[in-house]
Structures are given as C-alpha cells and as structure tokens.
Amino acid sequence: MKRIATIVLLSTLILMLGVGSSLAAIWSSTAMSVLYGTKSQDFSFGPDGMTTMDVDKTIITLEHASAWKYGDNFFFFDIGQPFDVNTSLYGEWHPRLSFSKMTGSNVGFGFVKDVLIATELNVNDGGRVYLYGAGFDLDIPAFKFFALNIFARNDPSKEDVTYQISPSWNLPFTLGSAQLSFGGFLDYSGSAGGFHEANFLAQPQLLLDLGAFSDKPGNFYAGIEYQYWTNKYGIKDLDENYVQFMGKWVF
C-alpha cells in the first residue's frame, strides 16, 4: 500500500507541476509513456556469486519538459513493474541555466547555439547521484533539438567522483503521410572505484505520431525503444540488449 501511495503521489505531483509550470513557462510538455519488453537483465547475488536472468519488464514513465526565462527543465519518474510486488521507482531532474538568457546576449559559437550550466539529480530506492557541469545546445539541421551535457558524476556510495557524457536529441521526419520522430539519449559514465565499472547506456526511440492521422498531431505516439546497456549499474559484464514496445500520451 505504501508503494502504491508513492506512485499515486508522484504521478499527481508531475501532472500538477506540468500544469502549474506551464503558466510561467515559455513552453512546456507533460507526457506519460508505457513500455513493455522482454530479455531485460535482472540479477541476484548468492553463495556462487552473481546470477543473471532474463525477465519481462513493464515501465510507466511520467515526464515533464519546459523552458523558462533563464533556462530549461526536464524531469521524469520511471515506475518499473507497476503491477508487481517488486515495483521499483527511479527519477531524474535536469535543470539547466542558459548563459545566453542570463546575459541577454548570444554566447553561442559555430554550431553551438547556447552554453549552459547543467545539473542533474538521480533518485532511486537506494540513494541519490549528483551531476554538475556544462551543457551545449547544438544547431544541427533537421533536428528539433540536439543537446550535449558533460558532467562530473558524484555518487556518494562510490569511492570516486567520475564523469558522464550525455547527448540527447530528437529528429522529426516524414515517410509519405506518416509523421515520425527518432529521439533518445546516450550516457557514458566512467568507473568510480571499487566494483563500479565504466558503463554505456543508449535508449533510442522510433515513434509514429498516430494522432496526426486524426488531425490531432502531437497527442499520441506508438513505436519502439531500444535499450543497450553495458556493465549495467556499473556491474562488470552485466549487459542488456532488448527492444521495448512503447505508447506515449502527451497532455
């Protein structure tokens, strides 16, 4: 019951923040996604060491993105296995401050549209990770956006502060009358001492705008997300490689 109450609270909070922040934001978007995939890697530790297993996984993602006077903001919560007793929660908050907006002048150069102070907070059932560094918004033809964040990554449970490189993007395109988008992110994190290995996570998505077929573009999408993760959670040789089916509703 406590876990269900937490899920309801987080869901309500995201929706309230999405509606409330849209009043002061230059633009904002709030969405809910449902993903389902097989061959996700789970693990357990026993007398003989780590045992890995393939599991089916359902994830509900609640997310919000917005831009305001001095920067932009993005956060999401993943609710893993929401219909199972082993439900998991994971969230990230990505606030950034724009030097161009704060100074009132263009600080971009070349194909860099803007330079930002980038921060990130990761929260799960086991603790928190703090990231801080620089962000770059890139001007690449045809892309709706392409951002590159370079962080110092501080996980208090690990021995060392390391680094993380995180590009994210969205590329809309059409095939005949179909409107599609190719988006996602990559995270490369360095080793952090002890048993925490360098790891690489990629989650590209290919989505079809189904709402566009009924004159309501941008409301409902369906498609796939591909997850590729080496040394998952920093655990050596725990690799993941699977496709998730995805439906996304934008409020």
Residue type for 94, please?
A: H
User: What integer pLDDT is reported at residue 44 of this predicted model?
Assistant: 62
**Which among 208, 205, 237 has a CA at the least distance from the CA of 221?**
208
| Ordered domains of the chain (ranges, CATH) | 2-250 (2.40.230.20)
> Structure pTM?
0.86
pLDDT tens per residue, range 112-146: 999 999 999 999 877 899 999 999 999 999 999 99
Q: How much is the CA Rg of the chain, to the nearest whole Å?
A: 19
Is residue 6 classed as helix, strand or coil in its secondary structure? Answer: helix
Distance CA 35, CA 128 (A): 24
Q: Which has the higher per-residue pLDDT, 160 or 16?
A: 160
Query: Where would I find the H helices in 65-104?
Result: 99-103
User: What integer pLDDT is reported at residue 20 of this predicted model?
Assistant: 46
Q: Please report the beta strands in 69-126, taking only residues with DSSP state E, as ranges in sequence order.
A: 71-80, 88-98, 112-124
pLDDT tens per residue, range 138-195: 999 999 999 999 999 999 988 899 999 999 999 999 999 999 999 999 999 999 987 8
Q: Which has the higher per-residue pLDDT, 111 or 251?
A: 111
Residues 6+ apart with CB under 8 A from 201: 186, 187, 188, 227, 228, 229, 230, 232
pLDDT tens per residue, range 31-80: 999 999 887 767 666 666 666 677 788 999 999 999 999 999 999 999 99
pLDDT at 9 over 60: no
User: What integer pLDDT is reported at residue 2 of this predicted model?
Assistant: 44
**Where is 23: in which H helix or E strand?**
helix 2-24
**Which among 75, 92, 35 has a CA at the least distance from the CA of 59?**
35
Mean pLDDT (the chain, rounded): 88
